Amino acid sequence: MAAENRAFVGSIVVAGAILVAGSPFLMGFLQKWESGKARVLVVYADPLAGGLPTVCNGLTRHVTSTPIIVGERWTDEQCDAEERSAVVAVQKRLAPCFKRPPSQMVFDMATSHAWNLGPAATCGSGAMTAWNRGQWTLGCQRIARGDDGTLVWSYTCKTVGGQRQCTFVQGLANRRADEAQTCGEVL
């Protein structure tokens, strides 16, 4: 992605702090975990998301109103525009959950978590509870692990025959560990 496309998107007020919306660091972090070295430009049915049509760096119907149809080819320019817009929309839903001003890195990693799991999950998480008490390091740790040290947010779940079945996904555990470490690096 060209540097100018990753440039400053704008600002967003979070608990009185002015933070960069769609920061270049965040956009690169999302690409790392959603697509790897190159964006996915052909819409695919994401097996971890129950076949949800996905493109670019994790764009789905949950973050954009633009139709996403399996097999359709997108351009880098389409991805740039839709990703920026979708990230800012997620951040606007996430911002009111913070009762204290976070650092840019905490906000970026909370956004990555929300991008992957939804703003409601991030807002209701143990990480957000800790951050709102001013426990920044603990909040960052809680992105990946519960207070008892168990891995959290590293499973994909579905209901089969009325029973909820969850499967551990190493890639999600790796992403959570990276978010937690990156979140805490500047504290």
pLDDT tens readout for residues 127-179: 999 999 999 999 999 999 999 999 999 998 888 999 999 999 999 999 999 99
pLDDT tens readout for residues 60-103: 998 888 999 999 999 999 999 999 999 999 999 999 999 999 99
Give the mean model confidence (pLDDT) for residues 112-116.
95
- State residue 4's pLDDT score: 39
- State residue 9's pLDDT score: 62
Nearest CA to 82 among 37, 49, 41? Answer: 41
Domain spans of the chain, in order of start: 3-184
pTM for the predicted model, two decimal places: 0.90
C-alpha dist (Å) from residue 13 to 20, 85, 98: 9, 16, 10
φ, ψ (nearest 5 deg) of residue 51: 85, 10
> Is the pLDDT reported for residue 2 higher than 80?
no
Q: What is the C-alpha to C-alpha distance for residues 119 and 88, in angstroms, rounded to an integer?
A: 12
3-184 to CATH, choices 1.10.510.10, 1.10.10.10, 3.30.310.160, 1.10.530.40: 1.10.530.40
φ, ψ (nearest 5 deg) of residue 174: -65, -40
Q: What is the C-alpha to C-alpha distance for residues 170 and 160, in angstroms, rounded to an integer?
A: 22
